[in-house]
Structure 1
Amino acid sequence: MSPILIIFYFLAAITLSTAFLTIYSRNPIHSAIYLVISFFSIAGHYLLFNAQFLALVHIIVYSGAIMVLFLFTIMLMNLNKEDEVHKPRITRLGAVVVMSITCLVLLAIFVNSNPIVANEYDSNGNDFQSIKALGKILLNEYMVPFEFASVLLLTAMIGTVLLSKKEKTGKKNE
């Protein structure tokens, strides 16, 4: 077995286990930490695909900015154990069953797929990994979705601030 394949399986195990722990953890801070670990392992997958720029952008955007936004949301909502709605065991069991079935379907798809061998690719000599090529594509062809994503993140931030705002009482404390 090649070292790349071993690294891939190791990263895949980390990604799947931390993704499961993100969903299954009761503590929201622990869930956010598991999500960050999952994001870093996905960035490792990008490195295996020789997409260094995409891996770094993934780490900066998701592990940095989005997770900071999640953590601020969690802290501002002040989630306590007393306020948490307890789900019945049947709901948790159903979630585990659905996740297991999804994993089995994905495993069956991966086992029955025909991977493309590296020597079957037709190379036209274009470098799609360069920052110049990515910049041209992002700011020409994908300008509108890029701007929609920024407006969506701004709206999410404003919504978080408005949801976390405390209601004012009728009397002022002097």
Structure 2
Amino acid sequence: MELALFIILALIAAVSSIMMITRRNAVISALFLILNFFALAGLYLLLNAQFIAVAQIIVYAGAIMVLFLFVIMLLRTDSEAKIFSEKKLLKYFAIGISIFVFLQVAYIILYGAPSRNASPDVMKSVEIGTIQSIGRELYTNYIIPFEVAGFLLLAATIGALILAKRKFE
């Protein structure tokens, strides 16, 4: 089952990345990039890296791609309204994909059960990817690099503010 999911997600990631760079329409390219982000999040879940998968969806597919799409739509608003009116097949394809995703989620909710008979190695790898274990490692074993990164970001923010203030005066 995991191998089949890996093959499906890897194919989706590969095809969506190729489709992203070969499209002429920037909005369609951005949508293929979002599909690629979701496929990568699925691959992270197969690796039992739950935190990274959720961060992938929230940060990249959520915040950054919304910003990209917003900027793209502001730059070229004239041709984007015609996409679904001219291409009926694309509209039906989007509806089909939506139904397929909904059926997958419904199946997982109704028939998915946590594996209670997993080996200790699998259970340990599941625990490693949780937010609690990442936080525990970050604030115990890696506290110095974490603090250094925080100070570097603070220094960069202060430097950007000083440079911006000089520019406007």
Q: TM-score w.r.t. structure 2 length?
A: 0.53
Specify whether residues 144 and 74 from structure 1 end up closer, same or farther in structure 2 by C-alpha distance, changes over 3 A only.
Answer: farther
Alignment of 1:101-112 (within 5 A): none
> Does 2:4 align with 1:6?
yes
TM-score by length of structure 1 reads: 0.52
Matches within 5 A, 1:28-67: 28-67=26-65
Aligned in 2, Cα 1:5/1:31: closer, same or farther, shift over 3 Å? Answer: same
**Matched residues in 2 for 1:132 and 1:21: separation?**
37
SS at match of 1:142: helix
Judging changes above 3 Å, is the alpha-carbon distance between structure 1 residues 136 and 13 closer, same or farther for their aligned structure 2 residues?
A: same
**For 1:11 and 1:66, how far apart are their aligned partners in 2?**
22
Q: Does 1:134 align with 2:134?
A: yes
Taking the aligned partners of 1:17 and 1:26, their CA distance within structure 2 comes to 16
- Equivalent residue pairs, number: 109
Gaps of 5+ in 1: 82-120, 156-174
CA pair 70-137 structure 1, distance change in 2 beyond 3 A = farther
Q: Which residue of 2 aligns with 1:101?
A: none
Show the counterpart of 1:68: 66
For the residue of structure 1 that corresponds to 2:128, the secondary structure is coil
Measure the CA separation in 2 of the matches of 1:33 and 1:64: 12
Letter in 1 for 2:129: Q
In 1, Cα distance between the equivalents of 2:26 and 2:43?
Answer: 26
The answer on whether the counterparts of 2:6 and 2:46 sit within 8 Å (CA) in structure 1 is yes
Equivalent residue of 1:76, what SS?
A: helix
Structure 2: runs of 5 or more not aligned: 80-120, 161-169
Residue aligned with 2:68, SS: helix
CA RMSD in angstroms, aligned pairs only:
3.3
**Cα offset for 1:80?**
6.7
Cα 1:71/1:133, change in 2 over 3 Å = same
Other structure's SS at 2:43 match = helix
Instruction: Name the structure where helix makes up a greater proportion of residues.
Output: 2
Q: Could you tell me how far 1:72 is from its partner in structure 2?
A: 1.7
Q: Write the distance in 1 (CA, Å) between the matches of 2:42 and 2:8.
A: 10
Question: SS where residue 26 of structure 1 aligns?
Answer: coil
Query: What percent identity do the matched residue pairs reach?
Result: 40
CA distance in 2, matches of 1:76, 1:28: 12
- Please say if residues 49 and 130 of structure 2, whose CA atoms lie closer than 8 Å, have aligned partners that are also in contact: no
